[in-house]
Amino acid sequence: MSVEEIATVKSEAPEGRERKLVIGVIVIGLALALPFIDSALRLNLGTKLIPIGIFIILALGLNVVVGFAGLLDLGYAAFFAIGAYTVAFLTSPSSELLRALGAPPIDFWLAMVVATAVAAAFGVILGAPTLRLRGDYLAIVTLGFGEIVPLVIRNTPQWTRGVQGMNPIGTPTVPGVQFGVATEPWYFLVVAIVVLSVVLTARLRDSRVGRAWAAIREDEVAAASMGVNPVSTKLFAFAMGASFSGFAGAVWSSYLQFIDPGQFDFSVSIFVLVMIILGGLGNIYGVIAGGIILGSFDRILADTISDVLQTIGDATNIELLRQADVNRARSLILGLALVILMLVRPEGLFPSARRKMELHAAEESEVEAAQQRSTLYETQR
Amino acid sequence: MSADGMILTAERVTKRFGGLVAVDSVDFTIPPRAIVSLIGPNGAGKTTFFNMIAGLYHPTSGRIVFEGRDITGLPPHRITRSGIGRTFQNIRLFQNMTALENVLVGRHGRMKATPFEAILRTPRERREERETREQAKALLAYVGLAGKEDEFAKNLSYGDQRRLEIGRALGTEPRLLLLDEPTAGMNPQETAQMTTFIRRLRDERGITVLLIEHDMKVVMGISERVTVLDHGTKIAEGPAETVQRDQRVIEAYLGRARTA
């Protein structure tokens, strides 16, 4: 290849692609270095990073459903629970299913694949009859589903051990690596999954099906008239999101070694939804940023702020501050943040270009109208 | 092609919305490689009829046959894939997608890559994406939007949006193209350009065209046959000149002359 040829190839590459690659490498590098920074500075973040990572995986999956395909899913945690419980059923020594079958616990990796498939299957079962509904109805149905799943788990203790929860749960097996109490192996596993999820969702977004999602989100009738099957396209998005959630659930249950229905209630669905709205619907990097911001608020900052407030309270002898616990105000703070965001920046902190346009279309036409009005006024004068 | 040699045959097609009969037992045929028009005053049932062919509405009774295949009641995407493309009266582009992406969505039904292949970026998938982009660019050039590939649809001028809608429909590889008032809101010059373009579609690409028009003048120049609907029934059919002089058509458009 001659120098000129190389030059043309380079100029043909889409703009910003190299920049994205560089940012990606830096972010991955930082993520990989984090445990070492953590131990060097004695920040003791280890155990807090894994839930944040799991939340990022959840957010990436929900972004496919809500951000790409425009389907509002308010019961996303249900699939998280389904994934977690499937793994528990298949790998826990306390599993009634295994006892009934007389089978030994199976390998975690296999269980994880099964959990992903089961969650996707539930996505299809829930989606097939409901995706024909319009947006608002879908939100209500998924909301109901999100409530039903933890309830079923609570009320079938003969299988799920109800509110007592299930433990222990099988762990991944990698030669030479011990997945136990030490957080590093878990951390690197989660980072690997996040990277994989980013590649996967980005490729889907830029493919035939990704364009079909965007088209359906914009105008379902027009999309159908262009040969896009709306039902199967939406169903695929739904199943894809569910399988991400199931997958995350599998890792979560194995990491935590204990699951109970309380971990999968409505607030989890909302928390993940807030993450992607905060970060910027439809934009993969924005969604990750949203996950990091809210995840670290939830797991790290809330405690730190509480500590600081309590220290101040002790020093100044103010009773209110001494007993301060930001965690109790978690919902309030999240809600406030969301309201403020919706008012100030409805497209999220790092929006995708398309979403930004959608949300500002009304304003633009207002500006245009104002300009037209003023020109009319000028000419009349 | 069906036995009667027609590309599309509609037999006694009726559509009721509750008590309202929007289209009443209309028989209609389109010969291959023809440009035929469906005209009529507001509320005559033109768009309803059109939407039944495109699969957006299911006929209450009657039958629609395309190239010898019964397509009555098929969903829109199946009808599109069987070879019928369409545009909309009130432009329905994907506003926040680029011109190129709009045409790419039009190519959707003609592409084969599965999501699984997309995830793996298989050579076949990459080749298909590359080829489809080339085809889409060629189509944009054909409708006169060369160089505007990366413009967002909403930022295009009104005339360009109309062109893009046709380009997007051409992406579906239609053998029959349904155009719903393609010259609505255009000035006389733009209208003339569009009329020439519609004729080119037939002459160069062999596409049969069904045109809905509100405006009599537009259809006179290009259509071989004109069908007039009024209050959901067919009141006249034939060559433009004959239809234009038809007493019932004049009445439908202008009202009945008062007789002493």
For the segment B97-122, what is each residue's pLDDT rounded down to a tens digit? Answer: 999 999 999 999 999 988 999 999 99
Provide, as residue numbers in chain B, all residues whose Cβ is less than 8 Å from the Cβ of A221: 56, 76, 92
Q: Does A207 touch chain B (CB under 8 A)?
A: yes
Q: Does A34 touch chain B (CB under 8 A)?
A: no
Tokens of A12: 């043909």
Lowest-confidence segment of A251-265, A349-363, B132-146, B186-200 by average pLDDT? A349-363
- A180 three-state secondary structure: coil
Cα–Cα distance measured from residue B105 to residue A144, given in angstroms and rounded to the nearest whole number: 34
The pLDDT of residue A364 is above 90: no
The CA distances from residue B240 to A51, A380, B87, B226, B230, in Å, are 72, 45, 23, 6, 16
User: Cα(first)–Cα(last) distance of chain A, in Å?
Assistant: 66
- B178 three-state secondary structure: strand
Among candidates B178, B183, B127, B171, which has minimal Cα distance to B145? B171
pLDDT single digits (tens) B125-172: 999 999 999 999 999 999 999 999 999 999 999 989 999 999 999 999
Cα–Cα distance measured from residue B116 to residue B234, given in angstroms and rounded to the nearest whole number: 50
- Predicted confidence at residue A367, as pLDDT, reads 61
Residues near B131 by beta carbon (within 8 Å), at least 6 away in sequence: none
Contact B240/B234 with Cβ under 8 angstroms? Answer: no
Cα–Cα distance measured from residue B140 to residue B121, given in angstroms and rounded to the nearest whole number: 26
- Predicted confidence at residue A376, as pLDDT, reads 53
Contact B8/B53 with Cβ under 8 angstroms? Answer: yes
% helix, strand, coil for chain A, step of 5: 80, 0, 20
Tokens of B192: 């003339």
Q: Does A354 touch chain B (CB under 8 A)?
A: yes
Q: What is the mean pLDDT of residues B233-250?
A: 86
Q: What is the mean pLDDT of residues A288-311?
A: 85
Question: Are A211 and B109 inside 8 Å of each other by CB?
Answer: no
| Confidence label for A334 from pLDDT (cuts 50, 70 and 90) | confident
Q: What is the mean pLDDT of residues A102-129?
A: 92
- Predicted confidence at residue A356, as pLDDT, reads 72
Residues facing residue B233 across a β-bridge:
B230
Tokens of A347: 């497209």
Provide, as residue numbers in chain B, all residues whose Cβ is less than 8 Å from the Cβ of A206: 118
- Predicted confidence at residue A308, as pLDDT, reads 86
The CA distances from residue A166 to A95, A102, A158, A263, B33, in Å, are 8, 18, 11, 12, 69
Q: Which of B92, B103, B108, B135 to mutate to test the interface with A (most CBs of A within 10 A)?
A: B108
Question: Are A203 and B109 inside 8 Å of each other by CB?
Answer: no
The pLDDT of residue A5 is above 50: no
Q: Which of A209, A221, A225 to mutate to test the interface with B (most CBs of B within 10 A)?
A: A225
Peptide bond into A230 cis (omega under 30): no
Question: Are A226 and B171 inside 8 Å of each other by CB?
Answer: yes
Residue with tokens 């993450």: A275
Question: Are B108 and A227 inside 8 Å of each other by CB?
Answer: yes
pLDDT single digits (tens) A151-167: 999 999 888 898 888 88
> Which of B80, B118, B172 minimises the CB distance to A207?
B118
- A380 three-state secondary structure: helix
Q: Does B167 touch chain A (CB under 8 A)?
A: no
Cα–Cα distance measured from residue B238 to residue B225, given in angstroms and rounded to the nearest whole number: 5
Residue with tokens 């809500």: A66
The pLDDT of residue B28 is above 80: yes
Residue type, A150: P
Question: Are A204 and B121 inside 8 Å of each other by CB?
Answer: no
CA distance A121 to chain B (A): 17
